[in-house]
Structure 1
Amino acid sequence: MVSVSPRLRDSLEYEDPENVDPRMSWGFRSLTLSSAGHSYEDLEYADDERPFSASADPGSARRKRRQRQSDLELSHVESHSYRTVADGDSFRLAVLKPGTGSAPIDIDLIFESSKQPKREYRCLSYCWQATALEYQRRTSGFEALSRVQSLESSVSSIASSTNGIGDAAILVDGYRFSVTTNLLRALRSLRKRNNKILIWVDQICINQEDHVERGHQVSIMKDIFRQASQVIVYLGELPGSEKLVEYAKKSRRGGVEGVKTALKRILPPRQLKDAIQRMLELPWFGRVWVISEVCLAPLVRISFGPETHMSWENLLGLVRDIPVAPSQGFAKSLDLLGNTRQRIAIITQMMAQQKDGAAHADISQLLVLAKSSNATDHRDKIYSFYGMTLLTTTPDYTRSVPGLFIEVICDYVNSIEALYANWKDLSDPSRTLQLMSILYSAGSLHQHYELPSWIPDWTSSWHLAPLWACTTANLNAIPTRNDWAATNRSDFRAGGDRRDNLEITAQVTSSPRLRLSAIVLDHIVATSDTTPASTPAPSPGAKGTAPVSPVTRSLVANGTIRYGRTFFDTQKGFTGLATPGIKSGDVVAILLGGDVPVVLRPLKGGAKAAKLYRLLCECFVESHAVMYGDVAKSEWTRAQDIVLV
């Protein structure tokens, strides 16, 4: 039998003062109402702020209140100004002091040598503008790449001055220092509770108002990143990032059945694809500076927050092992050059090249990555590659953007023809591919600045599916040689294997000219924005010629290369596709050694031996003989010297 204690009386009113309820006895003294002994009178009232149903989260309100108090305190502090200049081999390091929560970020700046650093430090790679979470709130679907690029114009004023960089503030050497909100969050995620951290942050360690110092620091950037212990890539807050990181780490353990089952429990296939897509849409992947920051790093750690991080190899595994189903029609996130998956593949190859001590010489990589990247200053689309190439252009933020683009391309053309052949052991086909990639990336219909038509304009982003290159991500085989153009070359061979040297003439700084050989195929007589009677499609191959590639047939059939292009007809009955802006009187030409034909606009003047043209764009011609080199092979004697201006 179970013994049950007698029930206590409900009433606490007793006639006998000694007969006291046990709840008021010594064993229950914490409930005493007496003012003597143990009581609650000396304790302050504290509301635990536990939320009721359907009420706001008091924790969030409390954090916001503390943040406002912190910002108010910083608003009364004198603004920071740089009192020294970082020159020679020296650069600044940020000493991030310990702290937690909403306490102000407190940093001291010290100098270090880029050649022989005495301290171990890290570098931070992040996105200056929109944070990951803010970007997720603004965008949806699978067209994030173009939307990230469209943000460039709206955020170009950010970082215009050191004290006007953003709407957040920290302490630097005891003074108020304005930073972007995303950097503030990154620093809070890195800050330790008890230990200091040495870290290089471009927004703080470089005087952004001093153009001379900016240029000098960019010139030693390769040493700063190579000497760092690691580079921390802060992607920002992303919902569900914990599960994605867990999946990435465990998926590297192998493909045994037990591991596969465990991975499905972490993230089912559909949720996994959605999570990867959301990650690849983050603005960090579209920033131009992250390319060199990652490629030059000895070790890369990708972070979503204080406890959520993975390696670059984990990221590569996610993108490689989870393919994207081909889309019907034009998809910007897959069919544009420099899409995020392709960027990761190219960057990974460049990382391998840098670890082998080889400065990459492939202009195709620079063009694809830089033209698809965002930069507050357009000069950075060149200078960000300074430590990774053999370019002799010294970073100078006072020079004109058009002049910089012209100098870089002239340098590359001369180097590929003369120097790189010996230095980098480039084969003749590799040199041809790199030179032709310059021309296919140029054209006056793809320029914002007034440049010679054969000079690419890095401010004009890719907006049409390319004909001269593939946009798929070559993630399975990452070569370390400078053969990106060969592995990502299109199926077309319009110009055959024969090529004459490209020669830069009239070495005028503002308007150099390029001499090359081409076959003038035909003149355009009509253009149309609608499909003509003869819908462009690869013609059946003639006897003895290569069959039509399934890739080519798919491109035309699903409308990928049709999207955004204008139809044209020629005098000889050819039908084709080109960039809007062509008109009657333009000519279709085949460049010897090129992959696809181009559209040229004749100009008055020039000698009989070399007519003047403006390069407009690449084009597609509905003819197997034209697109696969039969015409170039049989009529190469018709080739003539032309001059592009």
Structure 2
Amino acid sequence: MMTDTTTSANSLPILHHRKKYEYIPLTDQPRHLEVFSIRLIHLLPSTDRASPLRCQLVEISIPDYIALTKSHLSLPSPRPEHDYQALSYTWGDPVFPETLEVVSHTPSTDSIRDASTVRTGLDSGPVALGVIEITQNLHSALQCLRRDDETLLLWVDAVCINQADVLERNISDFLDENKGAVINSFLERPWFRRRWIIQEVVLARSVFVHCGAWCIPWRIFESAMIQLSGHMGAFNPDHRTMIHAIILMRTNMGVKRQLPMETLLEYSSFLCADPRDRLYALYGVMQRWFPGGESNRTRNQTGTINYALSTEDVFTNFAIMMIELDMPLENSLKKGAITRYKAVTHVLQLATAFGHQDKSDKNQLGGKLPSWVVDWTGTLRFKPLNHSPTRRDASLGVPVERVIAMPSKDGMRYLIVVGIPFDAIIATVPLDIAALLINDEMYEAKRELSHFLGRIAECSAKVCFPCGKDGNTYTPAKQHLVMAVAISIVASWQHTPAGSYFGRNPRSLNNFLEQLERCQYYLPDMLQSYPAYVELVKITMRGRCLFLTGKGFMGIAAAGAEPGDIVTVLSDINNPFIIRPSMKPTEERIINKMAGGNALGLFGSCWDGSPVQEKAESIHLDLENPSSSTSRFKLISDAYVHGLMHGEAWQLMSNEHLNGVKVFPI
């Protein structure tokens, strides 16, 4: 049945009854052809922006690249007539106030110059087949994209897929996965994981990407990666990291400034055959991006390539160079920031975060490296705390002394540092992050957090953790114990993403804490209202545990921390660190010492105030003596200690009139 039409003053035919377009089923392609069918929109041109949208829906067959790859068949080059653009847009509410008119596809339509020439009668020319109802958002997009004098080929899910056909929608979902698989397959090519490409791309004057018969400039390739970055859910974590890294390679060319260890972190997923190339392959990039990198001094900070050195020596020498760097950036990396970049803090944090204690990983160097040297072949086990926090420094008041690297007879090097052995861990409490990672399962997150709080209560009772007269007070901060836990497991919001709820709203942190107080400190009940808090806990507590100390402090550290480990505040290092003596005392002895309020006699040798540089040789000789009682220490983790992040350690030691500064060979 044909629909009656009227011609308006501007000669555009108007449909009276808005007949809905009836889709023609897609061709069921034989499997052996390794192709599948899709529809494309041929959006007809118009010089009048206000004219109705008209198109042809044309079925085409395109290669199934995944099937061809699995069959080891050659991949055909795309045909020019299949060169279409896929429109990505937001559907919005399921309201369809606008229409897209579909007209017949006949040979005569190839010569159509304007959509207004389409007729709806039986005379020659294309025939109006009906309309497809579309959202206002899609209508606006198509109006903007429509060209004046040529047909535009598009793929739009709402139109090219028959939304009323459940089977077709299911097949289309498979095709979407198939297209995602094509991109994932492309990103699996070894070139994308090759560590040396970073330097080749960053330092080249111009870059082109070749793949088969295709060649595109890097800027086009980068634009494609930027578009893909908006659909990260379709990719696995490795591919998401890779896409992000590719986007950053030539961004802000000539003005990008980045610290060496940040560059190494950014490209840690890229591989190389020789472990020494974990550093060597990025030396040129690190020098190019180094803040103030035009000076010879800073250009030489990364060292030189020397394959005569062992991997352990390469990694250790680099760590020493970074420690000696300790440059006061006031701060060119973060606008408005005035904090000094302390490379020592960053080196020690990354050394523990990459964790060469994990001997199950055959790719890691295991015990061949000192605990303070980063094993760049390892995997980042947890996110380091902010190494240069604004207006926060746990070491405030502690006398400033240099860190000295010394050799030893066994070929290992160690650091000599001074600091306060403030406290000792008496209990650790794990948090099951896996329960928090289940999507849309807030019940699991609430249940695990309830169990976690229960385990803290059990540990507190077992080790006689001081909790005030009411049993619920966190004494160092004079607040409810659950409030202290809530703040500690997000490290006082140190890892808050800029675009998250807590990052956008300055009042959100106070709102959360006020709500926690109104809820009688029952933290699990608040998770439903604060999913951003759950996300922050996931980021902060991955690879970490909560610990309790003998003096009544709590904090978070690496999951490998144990009772008997020492909470230290080291000279001129922002965050507290957990260290382990080679002769660790028993848990019972620690608790007995803590009952007297002092564990300082257990650990380290007293520092007499003389420069460490002058005492380094005597300390070195003492350590080399087999009969020496001097302990060496192993670096375990950086730490957040609630109530000990702003110089309180030095204040408390001064109040107790104790000479608390010790010398630690690590």
Task: Please give the range of the TM-score, normalised by the shorter of the 2 chains.
Answer: 0.3 to 0.5
Output the TM-score relative to the length of structure 2: 0.45
Output the TM-score relative to the length of structure 1: 0.46
